[in-house]
Amino acid sequence: MRILQLCNKSPWPPKEGGSIAMKAITDSLIQEGHQVKILAMSTHKNPVTPQMIPEPFRKKTGFTTAKVDLKIRPEKALYHLFTPHSYIVERFFSKDFQQTLVHILQRESFHIIHLESLFLTPYIPVIRQLSQAPIVLRSHNIEHEIWERYAANCRNPLKKWYIKVLSKELKAYELKHLNDYDGILPITTTDEAFYKDHHFRGSTMALPFALDVEGMLSRPGGQSDRIHRDAHSLFHLGSMDWLPNQEAMDWFVRKVWPQAREAFPQLRLYLAGRNMPEWLFRHNIAGLTVDGEVPNAHDYMRSKNIMVVPLFSGSGLRIKILEGMLNKNVVITTSTGARGIDHTPGKHLLIANHAGEFLEQIAYCVNNPGKAQNIAENGAQLVKEKYDLQQSAKKLTTFYNQL
């Protein structure tokens, strides 16, 4: 099959969750012998040109980009308060991107048009005009749920009100356009149930995020037990321009870390990720190191011990948690963070939903290193068995063939 994959950011370099997830889809399709054409947005946060892409990947995918300006415009944000339209979605519409898409569809034919996220939905009308191919949404999240939870946890009253407005607009958009697609690939069964409950008429299949397990473990240092770990380290690694991650670490640094450090003075907390906000660098807290973007995420994980993911908003499945599990980190996360991962609490990872529980789980890991290591080993085995790219590739091909 020939598949056109439309991406709201570049799958390359695969350094953060969204890009990693998109590239996993690309790799799955190519592995199954399909031809993939990528059209990706180049934005101020994720600028990319085809020349930046390694030649083998560029040639395999016919990699093309178009500029999309995602910068927040206060006047437009204010204007949208008085319209029924979703400002969050409309920011992703670009004449440059649409013209590039038109040019591709006029020159080439495809069996499937694959949209990476809700934010490609504004381009469906032009796709329908120029192509008979079924349109598939890869749903990384139920997008409005992220904003609803973020609003619920926001402390600033004015900001809380504005985010509520944005989330209502986004929910209305998400439901209004629900049946614009022929198929939906949610990342969890919970998200799949949402679409069915809201009367989606097309085909659905929950397709969890998949890792190239064999590739990750075969690269130098891939066997995580061969690398020296700092036994007294906690860390968080994730894209820090994503609001739920900022919210999570602001809460953890204020509510959990001071007490954890007081109970265990030998502990250190490391924060890493792209686009780290300045306010985190300005923190002067004992035992806290803010590393920002790191050159190799997997080496970073393998050098640390306990991964903390205190997410209170967001849907979908957290890719970095699976990567941490595969790298034999013991993971402490919330029920929201573990959502979509087929796990047994206490066996594959540890669950904590408030500050007291995080402190209890940290103490458990520090005081029981052998048991913590068993959890890490079980987590790695779970990822190998259930989240491997080869299995995902076959399921995806079956779904496309049915369409």
Asked whether residue 274 carries a pLDDT value surpassing 70, the answer given is yes
Asked whether residue 225 carries a pLDDT value surpassing 60, the answer given is no
Asked whether residue 111 carries a pLDDT value surpassing 70, the answer given is yes
Closest CA to 15 of 39, 37, 48: 48
pLDDT at residue 275, rounded to an integer: 87
pLDDT at residue 316, rounded to an integer: 54
pLDDT in tens, 249-263: 999 999 999 999 999
Mean pLDDT computed over every residue of the chain: 91
Q: In whole angstroms, how far apart are CA 217 and each of 9, 51, 65, 280?
A: 27, 29, 31, 32
The domain limits of the chain are 2-142+171-210+389-402, 213-386
Q: What is the mean pLDDT of residues 4-26?
A: 89
Q: Which two tokens stand for residue 22?
A: 């998109």
Calculate helix-pair angle for 319-326, 369-386, nearest 10 degrees. 120
Kindly report the CATH class assigned to 213-386. alpha beta
- Please report, to the nearest 10 degrees, the dihedral formed by the alpha carbons of residues 323, 327, 330, 333 taken in order: -10
Q: Which residues pair with 66 in a beta bridge?
A: 41
Q: What is the mean pLDDT of residues 155-159?
A: 87
pLDDT at residue 241, rounded to an integer: 83
Asked whether residue 203 carries a pLDDT value surpassing 90, the answer given is yes
The answer to whether domain 2-142+171-210+389-402 and domain 213-386 are alike in fold is yes
pLDDT at residue 221, rounded to an integer: 53
Asked whether residue 4 carries a pLDDT value surpassing 90, the answer given is yes
Percent of the chain at pLDDT > 70 equals: 96
pLDDT in tens, 301-348: 999 999 999 998 765 568 889 999 999 999 999 998 998 898 999 999
Q: Could you tell me which residues come within 8 angstroms of residue 321 by beta carbon, excluding any fewer than 6 positions away?
A: 307, 309, 331, 333, 337, 338, 341, 349
**Is 2-142+171-210+389-402 CATH 3.40.50.2000?**
yes
Asked whether residue 7 carries a pLDDT value surpassing 90, the answer given is yes
SS (H, E, C) 289-348: EEEECCCCHHHHHHCCCEEEECCCCCCCCCHHHHHHHHCCCEEEECCCCCCCCCCCECCC
Return the ∠ at Cα 59 (arms to 92 and 45), rounded to 5°: 30
Contact 39, 7 (CB under 8 A): yes
What is the C-alpha to C-alpha distance for residues 103 and 107, in angstroms, rounded to an integer? 6
Contact 210, 340 (CB under 8 A): no
Asked whether residue 178 carries a pLDDT value surpassing 70, the answer given is yes
